[in-house]
RNA sequence: GGCGGCGUACCCAAGUGGACCAAGGGGACGGAUUGCAAAUCCGUUAUUCAUGGGUUCGAAUCCCAUCGCCGCCUCCA
């Protein structure tokens, strides 16, 4: 099986062949850090984190770069509003963003460069483009001349002269053509000094697109493998990156362009300025969501859908997904009860146990487990179909539960069969790890104190007495009253367990 | 106006020409289990994939048209 990736450039699924054998370079457009990040800013990193994990699993050596744009009109505006410097604002927002990514299990980013740290490279690129007659200086600004790039528009499949010029016309006083875009912007007198950089054209700062071109080639080379971002970046941002990079270096820029679907509210994308949308966006802030839902649930939600499709993060949806996730947590708890071993610690998996298993039922079980893994990998090979892959995970869970049910492992002690079930769980965890799921025991939002534990022991003991005395009305009353406190009791053969939440 | 995408059950969602079945999750309803529950397992819940044509031995999947929704062309992950 070979990996296929949908490439926006060709509008087709293509077999993935890296530029350099064995190595993969990935560049993902990160946020402009001027206000708290929303869930949409985490979607790309979560998806590409899974992409990197999968490529690593397939044996590639992956380098993944996510940029932070920390010099920009919006930052200047927002910093002025807050009465702080641009770097202070950028730093604060970036720190929050990084903390959220950390929580979300996005650990694979190798480099996170700041635009402000690559001013030298940006200026050099501008100069080179000017020397190639692809850019021109105009009143302290530097513009890229779109007419210098014969295949401009190849990513978004559009022709510049057929587009509505719109408000772009207004800001084009210095431009030769409305489609031209700024590589360098001259400083305005009222702008703070920390965003005024020296350049051959006077004080100023980079335009929007060039920092990505510079940083991508700096870390990954002039030609690299995968460039990603939200669908809304296809035009003009990525189109312009291609134009300036390929004109500057004379070689292809990124080989594969992957664009993720956008987060929506209802049927609308989240980034409109009407008040209702703004209010809902506030709810979808990363900080806010992480305070309401577990990071693993958010990650699970993102990956439950194929990355090119739009996603909505409604409470109803998150709730339904959370119930699904519980299936896995319960399976792990059950394995722990049966084997006494921590399923989150590494242990023997089906591969290791495979050859030593005998017995028809046992062998069938091992084979079924390995078959699920094969189907999981097949889904991932098909343009990182994480939604399909998660479906396979659910089926595997059902398969393992069925085995334990049929073998009555909850009540019957059979170390050999229990080990088998535990091995299947290990195999499940090893593939789920490609999605960054089930790496550690879920943290219950309201962890119980020692006193609560002790009180629960007392209550359960009292109820157990009532049950053995057949005072079921009393036993049920206790259970109902606890349920009202969001505490669930589960009477199992070996005793009563309790849990908070569902 | 130009370019692009989407429409699969009550909800979310995979599948994008075939060789057994349109995955899976949530919900609902039955059954096993349980003192009753919870959890788990089993079964039911789309002869059908927005609609109408067409291509094909064969289509949810390709083509055309229609309807509906959305994105980009201006800052946006």
Look at A189 and A65; give whichever has higher pLDDT. Answer: A65
Tens of pLDDT, residues A43-76: 999 999 999 999 999 999 999 999 999 998 889 9
- Specify the CATH architecture of the domain A314-435: Up-down Bundle (1.20)
A128 CB closer than 7 A to any strand B atom: no
Mean pLDDT of A291-316: 93
A229 CB closer than 7 A to any strand B atom: yes
Q: Is the pLDDT of residue A167 over 80?
A: no
Look at A280 and A138; give whichever has higher pLDDT. Answer: A138
Between A153-157, A266-270, A396-400, A437-441, the lowest mean confidence (pLDDT) is in A266-270
**3-state helix/strand/coil string of A116-135:** HHHHHHHHHHHHHHHHCCCE
Q: How many CA atoms lie within 13 A of A296 on its CB side?
A: 19
Q: Is the pLDDT of residue A155 over 50?
A: yes
A382 CB closer than 7 A to any strand B atom: yes
pLDDT above 70 coverage of chain A, percent: 95
* Domain A4-279, CATH number (from 3.40.50.620, 3.40.50.1000, 3.40.50.2300, 3.40.50.300): 3.40.50.620
Query: Which of strand B's nucleotides are less than 7 A from any protein C-beta?
Result: 1-6, 11-16, 23-27, 34-42, 69-77
Q: At how many degrees (to 10) do helices A73-82 and A86-103 cross? A: 100
Q: Is the pLDDT of residue A500 over 60?
A: yes
A345 CB closer than 7 A to any strand B atom: no
Q: Which residues have C-beta within 8 Å of that of residue A61, sequence separation ≥ 6?
A: A22, A23, A24
| d(CA A231, C1' B70) / Å | 12
Quickly tell me which residue has 């084009």 as its tokens. Answer: A172
pLDDT score for A274: 63
A339 CB closer than 7 A to any strand B atom: no
pLDDT score for A164: 62
Between A29-43, A98-112, A270-284, A484-498, the lowest mean confidence (pLDDT) is in A270-284
Mean pLDDT of A329-335: 96
Nearest nt to the CA of A388 via C1' is B14
Nearest nt to the CA of A209 via C1' is B75
pLDDT score for A300: 96
DSSP string, A389-444: HHHHHHHHHHHHHHHHHHTTTTTS--HHHHHHHHHHHHHHHHHHGGGT-SSSPPPP
pLDDT score for A139: 86
A379 CB closer than 7 A to any strand B atom: yes
pLDDT above 90 coverage of chain A, percent: 78
Mean pLDDT of A115-142: 94
Residue-wise burial string across A32-47, b where 16 or more C-beta atoms lie within 10 A, e elsewhere = bbbebbbbbbbbbbbb
| d(CA A413, C1' B38) / Å | 23
Pairing mode of beta strands A135-138, A141-144: antiparallel
DSSP E strands, A236-356: 254-260, 263-265, 268-269, 311-312
A320 CB closer than 7 A to any strand B atom: yes
**Cβ-contact A181, A239 below 8 angstroms:** no
Q: What are phi and psi of A493, to 5 degrees?
A: -50, -40
Nearest nt to the CA of A234 via C1' is B72
Which candidate, A345, A82, A127, A315, places its Cα nearest to that of A135? A127
Q: Which residues have C-beta within 8 Å of that of residue A405, sequence separation ≥ 6?
A: none
- In angstroms, the CA A441 to CA A297 distance is 13
**Long-range CB contacts for residues A481-484, cutoff 8 Å, separation at least 24:** none
DSSP A69: B
A1 CB closer than 7 A to any strand B atom: no
The three-point CA angle A21-A68-A157 to 5° equals: 65
A247 CB closer than 7 A to any strand B atom: no
A40 CB closer than 7 A to any strand B atom: yes
Rg (CA), chain A: 27
Q: Is the pLDDT of residue A312 over 70?
A: yes
pLDDT score for A443: 77
pLDDT score for A4: 92
| d(CA A213, C1' B65) / Å | 43
pLDDT score for A109: 97
- In angstroms, the CA A119 to CA A186 distance is 14
| d(CA A2, C1' B66) / Å | 39
Residues lying close to strand B (Cβ under 7 A), chosen from 45-104 of chain A, are 69, 74
| d(CA A85, C1' B52) / Å | 61
Q: Helix H segments across A37-135? A: 39-57, 73-82, 86-103, 119-131
pLDDT score for A173: 59
Quickly tell me which residue has 């593939």 as its tokens. Answer: A431
Quickly tell me which residue has 């069938």 as its tokens. Answer: A364
Mean pLDDT of A229-249: 93
Computed over every residue of chain A, the mean pLDDT equals 91
**Cβ-contact A263, A311 below 8 angstroms:** yes
| d(CA A232, C1' B66) / Å | 29
Cis peptide before A236 (omega within 30 of 0): yes
A306 CB closer than 7 A to any strand B atom: yes
- Could you tell me the residue ranges of all domains in chain A? 4-279, 314-435, 450-500
Q: Is the pLDDT of residue A96 over 90?
A: yes
10 Å CB burial of residue A399 (0-12, 13-18, 19+) is middle
CA dihedral A165, A168, A174, A179 (to 10 degrees): -50
Nearest nt to the CA of A160 via C1' is B73
Protein residue with the closest CA to the C1' atom of nucleotide B6: A309
Tens of pLDDT, residues A198-231: 999 999 999 989 999 999 999 999 999 999 999 9
| d(CA A349, C1' B76) / Å | 45
| d(CA A223, C1' B69) / Å | 38
Q: Is the pLDDT of residue A123 over 90?
A: yes
User: pLDDT-based confidence at A251, cuts 50/70/90?
Assistant: very high
Q: Which residues have C-beta within 8 Å of that of residue A266, sequence separation ≥ 6?
A: A312
Q: Is the pLDDT of residue A1 over 70?
A: no
pLDDT score for A114: 95
Within 10 Å of residue A119's Cβ, how many Cβ atoms? 19
- Which residues share a beta bridge with A20? A23
A315 CB closer than 7 A to any strand B atom: no
Q: Is the pLDDT of residue A170 over 50?
A: no
């Amino acid at each position: 099986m070979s990996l296929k990736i949908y490439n926006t450039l060709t509008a087709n699924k293509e077999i993935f062949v890296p530029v350099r054998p064995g190595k993969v370079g990935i560049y993902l457009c990160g946020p402009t850090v001027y206000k708290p990040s929303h869930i949409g800013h985490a979607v790309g990193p979560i998806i590409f984190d899974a992409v990197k994990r999968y490529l690593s699993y397939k044996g590639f050596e992956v380098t993944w770069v996510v940029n932070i744009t920390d010099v920009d009109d919006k930052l200047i505006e927002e910093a002025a509003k807050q009465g702080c410097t641009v770097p202070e604002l950028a730093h604060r927002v970036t720190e929050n963003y990084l903390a959220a990514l950390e929580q979300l299990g996005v650990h694979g980013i190798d480099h996170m460069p700041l635009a402000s740290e690559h001013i030298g490279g940006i200026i050099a690129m501008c100069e080179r483009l000017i020397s190639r007659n692809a850019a021109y200086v105009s009143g302290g600004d530097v513009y890229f001349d779109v007419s210098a790039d014969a295949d401009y528009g190849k990513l978004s499949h559009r022709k510049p002269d057929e587009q509505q010029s719109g408000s772009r016309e207004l800001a084009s006083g210095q431009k030769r053509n409305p489609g031209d875009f700024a590589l360098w912007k001259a400083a305005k007198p009222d702008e703070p000094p920390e965003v005024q950089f020296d350049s051959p054209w006077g004080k100023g700062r980079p335009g929007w697109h060039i920092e990505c071109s510079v940083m991508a080639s700096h870390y990954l080379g002039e030609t690299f493998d995968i460039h990603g971002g939200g669908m809304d970046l296809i035009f003009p941002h990525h189109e312009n990156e291609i134009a300036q990079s390929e004109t500057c270096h004379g070689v292809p820029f990124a080989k594969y362009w992957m664009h993720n679907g956008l987060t929506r509210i209802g049927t609308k994308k989240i980034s409109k300025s009407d008040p209702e949308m703004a209010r809902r966006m506030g709810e979808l802030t990363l900080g806010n969501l992480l305070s309401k839902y577990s990071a693993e649930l958010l990650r699970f939600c993102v990956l439950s859908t194929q990355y090119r499709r739009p996603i909505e993060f409604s409470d109803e949806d998150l709730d339904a997904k959370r119930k699904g996730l519980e299936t896995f947590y319960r399976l792990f708890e059950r394995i722990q009860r049966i084997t006494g071993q921590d399923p989150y610690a590494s242990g023997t998996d089906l591969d290791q146990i495979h050859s030593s298993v005998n017995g028809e039922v046992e062998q069938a079980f091992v084979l079924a487990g390995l078959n699920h893994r094969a189907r999981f990998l097949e889904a991932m090979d098909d343009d990182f179909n994480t939604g399909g892959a998660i479906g396979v995970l659910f089926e595997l869970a059902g398969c393992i539960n069925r085995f334990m049910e049929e073998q009555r492992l909850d009540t019957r002690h059979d170390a050999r069969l229990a080990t088998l079930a535990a091995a299947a769980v290990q195999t499940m965890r090893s593939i789920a790890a490609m999605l960054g799921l089930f790496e550690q025991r879920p943290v219950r939002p309201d962890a119980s104190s020692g006193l609560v534990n002790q009180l629960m022991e007392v209550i359960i003991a009292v109820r157990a007495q009532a049950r053995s005395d057949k005072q079921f009305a009393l036993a049920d009353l206790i259970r109902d009253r606890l349920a009202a406190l969001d505490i669930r009791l589960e009477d199992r053969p070996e005793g009563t367990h309790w849990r908070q939440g569902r």
